[in-house]
Structure 1
């Protein structure tokens, strides 16, 4: 009986832990290929800024972007976290005007902008 109770507790904890992560459905997205293609990068930026159409991946990202900024991407998979860092670093270094636009939209009080800039400039 105790074993059954322990097994149920572990199972519930595991399922609850899984629900606390964003879907990994788009983890296979090749971030480097997107960032090396100016047209594709701009399409994603326009999606995030609500200035253009969004792909399924773009809609998924957009639905979580504010929360991910606020919680340091704590619900991101390891692949997503690495991708987010790569994208933010690219935006800061290569698309700074868009980085400012995006942070103005998703971080209007600029609570997180400086944190991420400091963290990623040092990488």
Structure 2
């Protein structure tokens, strides 16, 4: 299993950014999505989380995000655009600091050994997303 950290990072950041891969990078089709709006509104945020947890329906962008999570976790988002990488960090920081139960569920699902989670919790635990 991979980490929830990058998973969530890719989840919301990529939800707002990831899509089909082109020229070595993920598509920037969703790079203009307003992550602040999603993070500030649980009605928008929770469906993405439920999608990634396999507990709810997925939108087209949610499916796209989910399809790249494993790879992004393994290679530390090396195919992400700068916007996606920054967005991923904001999403993870938000989840760690504001949605600890969802963060725990995602961590348990994608990083049972906490190989990645610890790094992000240490790095982003005091950052507001």
- Taking structure 2 as the reference length, what is the TM-score of the superposition? 0.76
Q: How far did 1:92 drift?
A: 0.1
More relative contact order, 1 or 2 (CA 8 Å, 6+ apart): 2
Residue 30 (structure 2) pairs with residue 26 (structure 1): yes
Which of 87, 90, 110 is the aligned partner of 1:86? 90
Q: Determine if contact 2:47/2:56 at 8 Å carries over to the other structure.
A: yes
For structure 2, which runs of at least 5 residues remain unmatched after alignment? 1-21
Q: Name the counterpart of 1:108.
A: 112
Q: Name the counterpart of 1:72.
A: 76
Q: How far did 1:122 drift?
A: 5.1
- Structure with higher Rg: it is 1
Quick one: distance in 1 between partners of 2:85 and 2:66? 15
| Structure 1 runs, 4 residues or longer, greater than 6 Å off | none
Task: Name the one with the larger helix percent.
Answer: 1
Which of 40, 46, 51 is the aligned partner of 2:50? 46
SS in structure 2 of the partner of residue 27 of structure 1: coil
Aligned length: 106
CA RMSD of aligned residues (A): 1.4
